[in-house]
Amino acid sequence: MANKWLSEAFKGEVPKDFQGKVGWASPSNIALVKYWGKKGKQIPQNPSISFTLSECRSETFVTYEKADHFGFRFFFDGMENPAFGAKIEKFLLDRQAFSPFINQLSLTVESQNTFPHSSGIASSASSMSAFVMCLMDIERSLSLSKGRPIDLDLQKASYFSRLASGSAARSVFPKMALWGATPYYEGSSDEYAVSLENDILPVFKTYRDAILIVSGETKSVSSRAGHALMEGNPYAPARYAKANENIKDLLAALQSGDLDTFINITESEALQLHALMMCSNPSYILMKPNTLNLINEIREFREETKIPLCFTLDAGPNVHLLYSESEAEKVEELIKNELVNYCVEGRWIADRVGNGPKKLL
């Protein structure tokens, strides 16, 4: 696939009057089977599955014009951010074989997130995928200007997004995505994610994710460092074997609607992710006391009411509470009456499964 995209890349002369502005919104995603540990160039040690979110998005606009050489400026929330700009610039220059035309463009990127900066929600998946969608849209206009219309290829967007930030590979697809090669899903790949939209029951397409904000602080250990620590983790081989098994069982549950298995795998994956952090060298803990308080409350409520809600965690202390649309009223009562007491300033975000990137301009 990568070779196909390499050979198809627009390599011609950019027209002198080529200029414009594109805009894309792209969502964050929450993994059910976690990607934790990588090799080579952003290749995952095990496959992962996620819900694409809806409310937590990055909105990115790119103004472009023909230039003698590559120019790049990055603004976040209206303020120039040279550090993040340098990261994206490096990503672009490292991958220019796929988009040689960028050497003839000057780009100004303006990005913002719909979720608060201090919500502890990682924005690399949404911001990188939004930026990649803009880049591909520019390539599309360029091809069109030469009379060669091309479609926006989501597989290619996923490939590019993965190179920028692993989990971003999954954000470009509606509803649910699988990233990583597995014998249990035909067409799956380590290089890009694939859509699971047509292989899951309708109930999962409207799932809710209430993000309970336990802390808005930036995490003390980055994902990059966390992935790297898996290299020396003595439990890594067992973890990768278990993740592969969980992929098989979760794929089956998403098709059969077996919610006990769905809950069992989702919660176990969250706890395994944090257990791996606790037994890496050096060890570290990202959960906070209120993370555990919320987990206990959620499990107690499930036990008492038999409502099949469950939790997952990202690489941070916040709790993602997952439940079906049909249970929303009862679960949201629980959130407002009980769970907000464990949230910083009572904050939570009502998110839900979404439709992937959206063109803004």
**Residue numbers at the binding site for ligand PMV (CB under 6 A):** 31, 34-36, 48, 122, 124, 165-167, 223, 227, 273, 314-315
Strand segments (E) across the chain? 19-33, 38-39, 43-44, 48-66, 71-76, 79-80, 105-113, 176-179, 193-195, 208-212, 310-313, 319-323, 348-352, 358-359
Q: How far is the CB of 180 from ligand PMV (least distance, A)?
A: 10
Q: How far is the CB of 294 from ligand PMV (least distance, A)?
A: 18
Q: How far is the CB of 208 from ligand PMV (least distance, A)?
A: 19
Closer of 35 and 185 to ligand PMV (Cβ): 35
Q: How far is the CB of 199 from ligand PMV (least distance, A)?
A: 19
Closer of 32 and 331 to ligand PMV (Cβ): 32
Q: How far is the CB of 179 from ligand PMV (least distance, A)?
A: 8
Q: How far is the CB of 8 from ligand PMV (least distance, A)?
A: 26
Closer of 156 and 274 to ligand PMV (Cβ): 274
* Distance between CA atoms of residues 151 and 156, nearest Å: 11
Q: Give 100-125 as a DSSP string.
A: GGGGGEEEEEEEEESS-GGG----HH
* Distance between CA atoms of residues 181 and 89, nearest Å: 29
Q: Which of 352, 274, 275 is nearest to 318 (CA)?
A: 274
* Distance between CA atoms of residues 218 and 90, nearest Å: 23
* Distance between CA atoms of residues 18 and 141, nearest Å: 9
* Distance between CA atoms of residues 181 and 188, nearest Å: 5
Closer of 166 and 356 to ligand PMV (Cβ): 166
Closer of 23 and 356 to ligand PMV (Cβ): 356
Closer of 140 and 162 to ligand PMV (Cβ): 162
Among all chains, which residue has been given the structure tokens 């992962």?
Answer: 48
